[in-house]
Amino acid sequence: MRDILNSTGNVFLQTILYLTNTNFTADNRIDPSSLMSTADEVLQNSLYNVEKGVGFWGNYIMRTDDRNVAVKCYDKLGCYSINPPWTDVSRPVSKYPEPPEKVSPKYCLYTRHNRHTCQQLIYTSPKTIYRSYLMPTHKAYFIAHGFLENGEKDWIKNLTAELLERYDVNVISVDWGNGSSPPYTQAVANIRLVGTITAHLIHTMSTLVGLKAEFCHVIGHSLGAHLAGYVGSTLQQKFRQKLGRITGLDPAEPHFSKTDPIVRLDPSDANYVDIIHSDATPFIKGGLGMDEPIGHLDFYPNGGENQPGCDKGLMKYIHQEENSFFKGMRKFLGCDHVRSLQFFNESVNTHCKFIAIECDTWENFIAGECFECSENRICASLGMNSFHTVQRETAGSGVMDSAFSRSLVKLYTITGPQQPFCRDLYRITVAISSSEESLEHDGEVGQFKIELIGEGGIKTEPLNVFKEQYFKPGEVTRQVIAGSYVGRVESAILHWTHQMFWLLSLRFQTPKVHLGYVIVDYIQDLKVQSIKLCPEKEEILSGRSIELFAC
């Protein structure tokens, strides 16, 4: 049953998203007009008429540009086109943002003075800013949710708490729940407006109390990541200000993949843009996040897809959610997508470094081809501390006040299947002996496990090294694995298990391999450390363990 559910999960995901993105008539037939705007619909939507409104957001005008009918304008909040590049092969259907009064984003300020009480900030109401606990000389973190969510989500509350625990800062939730409902295409359009309003709020805070844009860090998940990009681009285009940092947590793929940079989040939107990709499987196969690099540094934990711990099967998620099918299904379908924000949340207050290494592909990273930290190869912490580890902060201020020098850099790391997710990286090289005894015995099929031992006898858990394979005399095999932190590696315990039903290993001799040595490479203070370990006796019988010491 579990295998069936896992194999059909991608199809079910497509069905769920399809249903949430289409409107139905009373007899459950699809209303064709909901799928694409027609020319008649454009006329009916008053694109050729001027409509004036007065509301919470002040006066706005919805009009058509004389040169281009595919534009809607909302007074000071600007004009929104659906012409290319906003409509293209990657997004054949493009909508206008809904009116500001409909979307009506809510901004809640939290500080250490009001950790749990929202102080609402309104860019058109200076008194809401003057009377708040806003600290203009401290950093400001904006947190933006994605599709079908709102500012009351637990992950936003948890991240707010983590940030205030570590820093004396301003945390502002961007609640655009009024505009995040289906259809998805409308939510995609609405984030353009929310990004603009957020930029106006930052500019207002800058004008009224002196908060600098480079002190602002926008953290967005899924659609919220691209929303953050619109905040950054609007600040530059309208106010000649530039955000300090944007963190995109698994930016949404549908309607953004392979689009023009102006349509999506890109490195120009802030001085530093870091991305965590956790659900980068193609959308047609069930993924929700983007695979292509779109930031200065793009992190791909576990290759950016199929996250450890997300393979439990639907029934286990339903059980975890007290037998709620709907809640269990949401967790089942969204597990990989949500991992990005879980990784970032953990990174705020952990002592673990969450180190990731620059590499061209996941396969080369795992094979150990990129295990170095140098001027030519970046090593950086995934999450909150990423730009600290690449030495881009100004002296003591923690503020990004100049653009990062490189972009579209892909970095990889490995995490655990559950919290705490952070692990240390180790490159393990195993050399099978080419001694006379080893050559006489020939090779064996099996699998190694290793326990690394550090200072004070601290051990990792037993770590799988390599897949089950044939090891022949003189062969040297290398792989990057992840385990718990042990500090400086001093010794190890190596375990080997013979696999019984391999044709290559049919013999009447006792299953064994002859080990030459093991090299363990690991990273401390962004420098690769290395130790060579040798056994007292090179022979390892199946099911037995041997101790390895520095040699």
Helix/strand/coil for 215: helix
In what helix (H) or strand (E) does residue 204 lie, and over which residues does it extend? helix 184-209
For the record, the structure tokens of 331 come out as 């967790």
- State yes or no: is 222 an active-site residue: yes
Strands (DSSP E) found in 241-351: 243-249, 270-276, 297-301
Neighbours of 457 (CB within 10 A): 9
Question: What does the alpha-carbon distance between residue 400 and residue 404 come to, in Å, rounded to a whole number?
Answer: 8
Please choose, from the candidates 249, 271, 246, 243, the residue with its C-alpha nearest in 3D space to the C-alpha of residue 346.
249
266 is in an annotated binding site: yes
Report yes or no: 123 and 201 within 8 Å, Cβ to Cβ.
yes
> Could you confirm whether 250 is annotated as catalytic?
yes
Out of 132, 173, 222, 505, pick the active-site residue.
222
As a whole number of angstroms, the distance between CA 497 and CA 449 comes to 8
Alpha helices (H) in 349-480, listed in sequence order: 362-366, 386-389, 436-441
Output phi, psi for 479, to 5 deg.
-160, 150
- Looking at 145, 221, 226, 337, which residue is catalytic? 337
What's the CA gap between 515 and 432, in Å, rounded? 5
Crossing angle for the helix pair 184-209 and 223-239, nearest 10 degrees? Answer: 40
Residue appearing with tokens 């950016």: 304
Q: Which residue has the tokens 């592909």?
A: 361
Give the total residue count for the chain: 551
3-state secondary structure of 85: coil
10 Å CB burial of residue 25 (0-12, 13-18, 19+) is exposed
Residue among 103, 507, 280 nearest 95 (CA): 103
Helix (H, G, I), strand (E, B) or coil at 203: helix
Confirm if 300 and 365 have CB atoms less than 8 A apart. no
Q: Which of 18, 9, 14 is nearest to 182 (CA)?
A: 18
- β-pairing, 243-249 vs 216-221, is parallel
Is position 31 annotated in a ligand binding site?
Answer: no
Q: Is 264 annotated as a binding residue?
A: yes
Query: Taking a C-beta distance cutoff of 8 angstroms, is the pair 243, 166 a contact?
Result: no
CA distances in angstroms from 76 to 57, 60, 96, 186, 329, listed in the order given: 10, 7, 16, 21, 42
406, 392 contact by CB (below 8 A)? no
Q: Give DSSP secondary structure letters for 122-179.
A: -TT-HHHHHTS---TTS-EEEEE--TT--TT-HHHHHHHHHHHHH---EEEEEE-GGG
Q: Which amino acid is residue 392, in one-letter code? A: R
The catalytic residue among 175, 250, 274, 279 is 250
Amino acid at 203: H
Annotated binding site for Ca(2+): 264, 266, 269
What residues are designated binding site? 264, 266, 269
- Write out the catalytic residue numbers: 222, 250, 337
